[in-house]
């Protein structure tokens, strides 16, 4: 762990530093993301050109899509975003990995009946389906085995339509390892030769709860994001966790020693773009996160969302920084300075759509520096350019 706050003058991009990382990515910095879902897929892939040591902590509280069926059937954490991130960091130069990627990314047809889909799944388990046959041994045997663990435990009327084979593989491992997620993710990581570390922030089957300013309580991540249900109509005032998906049954999650060590040992901590409450703040809810962040004196960077996030009703960037700091500070056993939790806000004011503007004076009063640098290109607009963003973050390590 670093012992001092980094005070060197930033140079973005730092071409000398980037070239050094590019030449020896196996020795690259451990850039840690309190990460969302698909928002970082391209960036994660870009990072592997410079470092094999990035760390991705993801929320397992999703409750929509095909993950919802698995969560309901097995009372388990959501694995879809985690599986996606593992695949983004896979080393495709290794024999068999492109075939594993195609298999794990495959979704069973939505328009087939369950009997046909079960037969297709059984063919994969037997190694007879074309996608499974394409995977070389011993990876094929391992994948068939994990799928069989899922198939054995699958409820009789489980709806396989649209199921991700990768999610079923991870679920099979989870069930085989006595409902422990880490061993299943570790096995999947090894099969794909993942270039980095991907973990759930906690491995409990909890659900997100938000309390709105109008007094309403909403249980379930999929009802918050505005993607699978109508957007919420009132600002979010509080986020917490529930042991139930049907009602608010408050529960506390605790950070594991393993994840705490990841946070304490990172060379840079990033609060990245993504659904603000359900992806970013959700990762800060477990006990121990704020203390682990404060313990590490590496640079800490917030990259605000571009455009409209349905979860950020009426919020300025100052507001989002305030909420971010309040959840981190709330976990600390004593008052810590703001710049122990956040040092930089990284923006591109020339090309970026920051709906409510940026009050740099207020942030600087808190000891937080606004770094304004090109992050959006013509090809990426209106989104961040993954190459520019990766190079900026790596230059800050």
- Give mean pLDDT, residues 6-13: 74
DSSP type of residue 314: T
Asked whether residue 244 is assigned to any structural domain, the reply reads no
Instruction: Specify whether 269 is located in the same domain as 388.
Output: yes
Q: Phi and psi of 294, rounded to 5°?
A: -65, -30
Task: Label residue 278 by pLDDT band (50, 70, 90).
Answer: very high
HEC sequence for 53-87:
CCEEEECCCCCCHHHHHHHHHHCCCCCHHHHHHHH
Contact assessment for residue 325 and residue 342, using Cβ atoms and an 8 Å cutoff: yes
Which residues are 219's β-sheet partners? 209
CA 267 remoteness from chain centre: 18
Distance CA 166, CA 63 (A): 17
Length of the chain, please?
A: 397
Q: CATH number for the domain including 53? A: 3.40.50
- Give mean pLDDT, residues 149-166: 96
User: In terms of DSSP H, where are the helices of the chain?
Assistant: 15-23, 41-47, 65-74, 80-88, 97-104, 114-125, 130-133, 139-153, 165-176, 181-192, 257-265, 289-295, 317-331, 360-365, 386-395
Instruction: Specify whether 161 is located in the same domain as 272.
Output: no
Instruction: Specify whether 319 is located in the same domain as 365.
Output: yes
- Give mean pLDDT, residues 166-177: 97
Q: Phi and psi of 131, rounded to 5°?
A: -70, -35
Asked whether residue 134 is assigned to any structural domain, the reply reads yes
Asked whether residue 201 is assigned to any structural domain, the reply reads no
- Strands (E) in 248-363, as ranges, are 268-271, 300-302, 344-347
Asked whether residue 207 is assigned to any structural domain, the reply reads no
- Give mean pLDDT, residues 181-206: 96
Q: Phi and psi of 237, rounded to 5°?
A: -105, -30
- Give mean pLDDT, residues 181-186: 96
- Give mean pLDDT, residues 248-271: 98
pLDDT, residue 330, reads 96
Hey, CA dihedral for 56, 211, 219, 254, is it positive or negative? positive
Helix (H, G, I), strand (E, B) or coil at 223: helix
Which residues are 209's β-sheet partners? 219, 240
DSSP type of residue 278: I
* Parallel/antiparallel/unpaired status of strands 344-347 and 300-302: parallel
Q: Which residue segment(s) compose the domain that 364 sits in?
A: 15-59+253-395
Last residue of a domain, one of 159, 179, 194: 194
Rg for the chain (alpha carbons), in Å?
21
- Using the structure block, give the residue that is written with the tokens 């495709």: 92
Judge whether residue 97 has pLDDT over 90. Answer: no
Give the closest residue to 125 by CA, choosing from 150, 144, 149, 104: 144
Alpha-carbon separation of residue 10 from 160, 287, 395 (angstroms): 51, 32, 8
Last residue of a domain, one of 169, 194, 219: 194
Q: How many domains would you assign to the chain?
A: 2
Which residues are 213's β-sheet partners? none
Task: Label residue 8 by pLDDT band (50, 70, 90).
Answer: low
Judge whether residue 6 has pLDDT over 50. Answer: no
Last residue of a domain, one of 149, 176, 194: 194
Instruction: Specify whether 36 is located in the same domain as 107.
Output: no
pLDDT, residue 42, reads 94
Q: Give the other-Cβ count within 10 Å of 354's Cβ.
A: 15
Residues 349, 351, 355: CA angle, nearest 5 degrees = 65
Q: Give the other-Cβ count within 10 Å of 267's Cβ.
A: 22
Asked whether residue 230 is assigned to any structural domain, the reply reads no
Asked whether residue 248 is assigned to any structural domain, the reply reads no
Judge whether residue 39 has pLDDT over 80. Answer: no
Instruction: Specify whether 188 is located in the same domain as 294.
Output: no
Distance CA 331, CA 284 (A): 9
pLDDT tens track for 358-370? 777 889 888 999 9
pLDDT, residue 361, reads 81
Which residues are 33's β-sheet partners? 56, 270
pLDDT, residue 240, reads 98
- Lowest average pLDDT, out of 80-84, 93-97, 170-174, goes to 93-97
Instruction: Specify whether 49 is located in the same domain as 109.
Output: no
Helix H or strand E segment including 244: none
Hey, CA dihedral for 239, 243, 249, 253, is it positive or negative? negative
Contact assessment for residue 116 and residue 197, using Cβ atoms and an 8 Å cutoff: no
pLDDT, residue 228, reads 85
Judge whether residue 4 has pLDDT over 60. Answer: no
Helix H or strand E segment including 32: strand 31-35
Distance CA 76, CA 135 (A): 28
Mean pLDDT of the chain: 94
Instruction: Specify whether 334 is located in the same domain as 258.
Output: yes
Instruction: Specify whether 267 is located in the same domain as 338.
Output: yes
Instruction: Specify whether 356 is located in the same domain as 275.
Output: yes
């Amino acid at each position: 762990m670093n012992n001092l706050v980094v005070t060197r003058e930033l140079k973005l991009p730092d071409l000398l530093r980037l070239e050094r990382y590019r030449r020896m990515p196996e020795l690259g910095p451990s850039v840690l993301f309190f990460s969302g879902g698909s928002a970082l897929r391209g960036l994660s892939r870009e990072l592997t050109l410079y470092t094999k040591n990035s760390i991705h902590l993801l929320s397992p509280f999703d409750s929509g899509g095909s993950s919802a069926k698995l969560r309901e059937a097995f009372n388990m954490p959501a694995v879809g975003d985690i599986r996606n991130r593992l695949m983004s960091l896979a080393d495709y130069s290794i024999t068999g990995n492109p075939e594993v990627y195609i298999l794990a990314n495959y979704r069973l047809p939505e328009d087939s009946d369950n009997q046909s889909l079960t037969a297709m799944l059984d063919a994969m388990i037997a190694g007879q389906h074309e996608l499974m046959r394409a995977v070389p041994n011993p990876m094929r045997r391992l994948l068939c085995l994990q799928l069989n663990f899922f198939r054995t435990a699958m409820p009789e009327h489980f709806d396989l339509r649209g199921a991700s084979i990768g999610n079923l593989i991870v679920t099979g491992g989870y069930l085989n390892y006595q409902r422990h997620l880490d061993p299943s993710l570790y096995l999947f990581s090894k099969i794909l030769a993942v270039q980095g570390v991907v973990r759930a922030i906690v491995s409990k089957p909890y659900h997100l709860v938000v309390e709105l300013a109008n007094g309403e309580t909403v249980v379930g991540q999929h009802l918050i994001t505005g993607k699978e249900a109508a957007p919420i109509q009132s600002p979010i005032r509080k986020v917490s966790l529930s042991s139930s998906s049907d009602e608010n049954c408050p529960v506390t999650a605790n950070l594991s020693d393993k994840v705490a060590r990841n946070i304490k040992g990172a060379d840079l901590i990033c609060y990245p773009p993504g659904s603000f409450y359900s992806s970013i703040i959700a990762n800060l809810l477990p006990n121990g996160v704020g203390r682990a962040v404060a313990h590490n004196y590496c640079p800490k960077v917030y990259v605000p969302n571009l455009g409209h996030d349905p979860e950020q009703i009426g919020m300025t960037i100052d507001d989002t920084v305030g909420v971010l700091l309040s959840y981190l500070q709330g976990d600390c056993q004593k008052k810590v300075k703001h710049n122990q939790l956040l040092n930089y806000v990284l923006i591109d004011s020339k090309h970026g759509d920051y709906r409510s503007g940026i009050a740099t004076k207020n942030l600087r009063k808190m000891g937080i520096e606004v770094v304004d640098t090109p992050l959006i290109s013509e090809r990426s607009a209106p989104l961040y350019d993954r190459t520019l963003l990766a190079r900026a973050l790596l230059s800050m390590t």
